[in-house]
Amino acid sequence: MSKFALEKINRLEAYTPGEQPRDKKYIKLNTNESPFPPSPRVIKAVAEATGSLNLYPDPEAVSLKEAIAAEYGVNKDNVFVSNGSDEILSFVFMGLCPRGVCFPNITYGFYKVYAELYGVEYTTPTLKNFRIDVSDYLNANKTVVIANPNAPTGISLSLDEVESIVASNPDNVVCIDEAYVDFGGESAASLIGKYSNLIVARTFSKSRSMAGARLGYALASKQLIDDLNKIKYSTNPYNINRMTIVAGIEAIKDVSYFEQCRQAIIQAREYFSAELRAIGFSVLPSNANFVFAKSDRIGGKLLYTELRKRGFLVRHFSDPQLDDYNRISVGTIDDMKALLSAIKDILTDRGEINE
């Protein structure tokens, strides 16, 4: 730390991303990436785009917005594209929380970091049994940010529940972070035309196998999109690079590849959850591409450490409310079979199961 930074930067506790280790090859089930490569159409388009890297990208990314708008049946004026959906969240906290913000006490860790960074007052209603209590967000009188499905629980709210929150807060922004919605949640995108206060934030990082490209988008009323654009043009007008623009267009258009990948993840998740339960784990009912699970036979941290030794990376959170659990990203079915067999070995070695 230098002596030059603002006091609030000195005090800030930054977001800790999941490990991206380089020491050896792991089966990586710790950052909710897709185990599948991007669509072959994406790979080809990116290669072609490199020839124009001497030129700035289109700051409006019109062609990409059109592709997204067509896919979701909205107007391109209702679409904002961003450098990862983290950028949308950043802008919401930076500029759209005039009366403060509320988000669940257990959720995506970045919300708190942004609130602290931008000096936004925040409240954090507690989950009940790992579930969001909708009544905590009705008539909130401040901005509401909710991940649906929530992280790291994987549990989702129904569209009716989301709508009740949006409808009861007409004078405040309600931002629904749908990073995981393609794996089984109900999207609030259909409500965009009806509510001017709703922002739906989504990402290509998980269900479209493009975490490395950094691409997210928001669907919202034209007025809110204008606000997001104003912030973008005041920070980083060329926020989406040329390769990512074409990658996004092809990823949206390759519907069959997208369907195939997300169905494979849903199937692997259901298989893995059932198998874990069969060996005594409690597994929260997930609508995401990860499961949150614990066992009475082994602590969360110990399981994490033992799996790491065996070449599997999962995510463990040291927060005392979460530390019995691990968040395990869903990989291929073969990844999940290998992981299950490692978990069984660990329990057998410790005399917890006899085989």
Ligand X SMILES: *Cc1c(COP(=O)(O)O)cnc(C)c1O
* Binding interface with ligand X (CB under 6 A): 32, 84-86, 108, 147, 151, 177, 179, 203, 205, 211, 216
CB of 152 to ligand X, least distance (A): 8
Beta carbon nearer to ligand X, 39 or 153:
153
Of residues 65 and 343, the one with the C-beta less far from ligand X: 65
Contact 325, 300 (CB under 8 A): yes
**Residue 210 C-beta: closest distance to ligand X, Å:** 9
Q: How many degrees, rounded to 5, is the angle at CA 101 between CA 229 and CA 226?
A: 15
CB of 85 to ligand X, least distance (A): 4
Tell me the sheet residues that pair with 176.
146, 200
The DSSP call for residue 27 is E
269, 207 contact by CB (below 8 A): no
Shortest distance in whole angstroms from residue 206 CB to ligand X:
6
| Strand, helix or coil for residue 218 | strand
**Do residues 133 and 165 lie in contact, with contact meaning Cβ atoms separated by under 8 Å?**
no
Q: Closest separation between CB of residue 15 and ligand X, Å?
A: 10
Biggest CA–CA distance in the chain, Å, is 63
Q: How far is the CB of 112 from ligand X (least distance, A)?
A: 13
Question: Nearer to ligand X by C-beta: 140 or 151?
Answer: 151
Alpha-carbon span 271 to 334, nearest angstrom: 11
Query: Shortest Cβ distance from residue 3 to ligand X (Å)?
Result: 32
| Cα-Cα-Cα-Cα dihedral sign, residues 175, 176, 178, 179 | positive
Amino acid at 69: A
Q: Would you say 181 or 246 has its CB closer to ligand X?
A: 181
Joined tokens for residue 316: 């463990």
CB 175 within 8 A of CB 165: no
- Give the C-alpha separation, 43 to 39, whole Å: 7
Q: Which of the 8 DSSP states describes residue 295?
A: B
Using Cβ positions, the residue closest to ligand X within the complex turns out to be 84
In the complex with ligand X, the residue whose CB is nearer, 85 or 239, is: 85
* Closer residue to ligand X, CB minimum distance, 31 or 190: 31
Residue 85 vs 326, nearer CB to ligand X = 85
How far apart CA 291 and CA 33 sit, in angstroms, is 13
